[in-house]
C-alpha cells in the first residue's frame, strides 16, 4: 500500500512539474556579430573594460508584452519594461570570436540578484553604440550614443537555459533624425503663421 502511494505521488509530481513556478533562473544569454548603425561594422568590445566595450542590457518585457520606447533616464526603459542585468560588448566572449560584436553572460537571476526571473518570462536584449558613462549603476549612454538596437523578444523556456539573441544592428536613433526636427519646426511655423493671420483679421 505504501509503495503504491509513493508511485502515485511521483506520478502526480511529474504531471504538474511543467506548471511549477521557478524561484530562480540560471540563464546564459548573449549575442554575436552585433553591428553598428551602418549594419556592417561590429560594435566595439573589450574583454574586461566596461569603459571601452559598448553597453548591453537584458530587459524583462513585463505586462505590456512589448518593447517600449527609450527615455533619457538612468536605465532608459519605459512602461513595464524592466532592466534585469547589464554588461558590455566583449564580456564573456573568447579570443576566437571577440571582443568586437560578441557578448556572453552566464548568471543566476533569483531574489538575491538585481531582478528575479522565472521560466516563461519574456526578455529581450538592447545594445548601444557607445559605452556606459557609469557602468556600476547601469546608466545608458544617452548623451554619447547615436543609435541603439533591440533584439526580438524571447521566452525563457527552461532553467538552466540558453537565450541566444543572435545578430542584429543598432539602427534605432537615440535622438530623432534632423528630418524629424525639420518636420516639427515646419509644423510649428505653419501654426504660428496661421495664428498671426487670424489675429490680423
Q: Is the pLDDT of residue 172 over 50?
A: yes
User: pLDDT tens digits for 81-107?
Assistant: 999 999 999 999 987 778 999 999 999
User: pLDDT tens digits for 94-153?
Assistant: 877 789 999 999 999 998 888 999 999 999 999 999 999 999 999 999 999 999 999 999
pLDDT of residue 175: 84
Higher pLDDT, 90 or 19: 90
Cβ-contact 110, 24 below 8 angstroms: yes
Half-sphere exposure of 154 (CA within 13 A, CB side): 21
Compute CA distances 50 → 3, 72, 160, 169, whole Å: 58, 20, 26, 20
- Other residues' Cβ atoms within 10 Å of the Cβ of residue 24: 16
How many angstroms separate the CA atoms of 132 and 144, rounded? 9
> How many residues are given for the chain?
201
Higher pLDDT, 97 or 36: 36
How many angstroms separate the CA atoms of 135 and 81, rounded? 19
Higher pLDDT, 199 or 175: 175
* CA 171, chain centre distance (Å): 14
How many angstroms separate the CA atoms of 160 and 156, rounded? 10
User: pLDDT tens digits for 46-76?
Assistant: 999 999 999 999 999 999 999 999 999 999 9
Amino acid at each position: 500500500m505504501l509503495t503504491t502511494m509513493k508511485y502515485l505521488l511521483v506520478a502526480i509530481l511529474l504531471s504538474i512539474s511543467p506548471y511549477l513556478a521557478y524561484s530562480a533562473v540560471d540563464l546564459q544569454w548573449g549575442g554575436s556579430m552585433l553591428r553598428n548603425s551602418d549594419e556592417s561594422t561590429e560594435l566595439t568590445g573589450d574583454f574586461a573594460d566596461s569603459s571601452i566595450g559598448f553597453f548591453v542590457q537584458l530587459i524583462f518585457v513585463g505586462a505590456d508584452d512589448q518593447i517600449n520606447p527609450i527615455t533619457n533616464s538612468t536605465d532608459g526603459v519605459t512602461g513595464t519594461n524592466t532592466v534585469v542585468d547589464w554588461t558590455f560588448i566583449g564580456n564573456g566572449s573568447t579570443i576566437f570570436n571577440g571582443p568586437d560584436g560578441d557578448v556572453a553572460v552566464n548568471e543566476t537571476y533569483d531574489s538575491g540578484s538585481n531582478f528575479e526571473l522565472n521560466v516563461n518570462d519574456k526578455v529581450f536584449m538592447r545594445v548601444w553604440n557607445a559605452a556606459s558613462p557609469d557602468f556600476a549603476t547601469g546608466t545608458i549612454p544617452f548623451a554619447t550614443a547615436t543609435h541603439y538596437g533591440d533584439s526580438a523578444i524571447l521566452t525563457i523556456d527552461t532553467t538552466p537555459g540558453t537565450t541566444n539573441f543572435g545578430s542584429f544592428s543598432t539602427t534605432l536613433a537615440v535622438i530623432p533624425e534632423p528630418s524629424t526636427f525639420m518636420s516639427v519646426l515646419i509644423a510649428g511655423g505653419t501654426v504660428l503663421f496661421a495664428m498671426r493671420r487670424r489675429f490680423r483679421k
